Amino acid sequence: MSDDKTTHFGYQEVPVKEKASRVRAVFDSVATRYDLMNDLMSLGIHRLWKRRTIELAGVRRGQRVLDLAAGTGDLAEQFARIVGADGGVVMSDINQAMLAQGRERLVDAGIVGNLDYVLADAETLPFAGNSFDCVTIGFGLRNVTHKQYALNEICRVLRPGGRALILEFSHPTTKPLAKAYDLYSFSVLPNLGRLVAGDADSYRYLAESIRMHPDQETLRSMMEQAGFERCEFVNLTGGIVAIHRGYKL
Summarize the annotated binding site for S-adenosyl-L-methionine as residue ranges.
72, 93, 121-122
Cα end-to-end span (Å), the chain = 31
Q: How far is CA 180 from the centre of its chain?
A: 24
Summarize the annotated binding site as residue ranges.
72, 93, 121-122
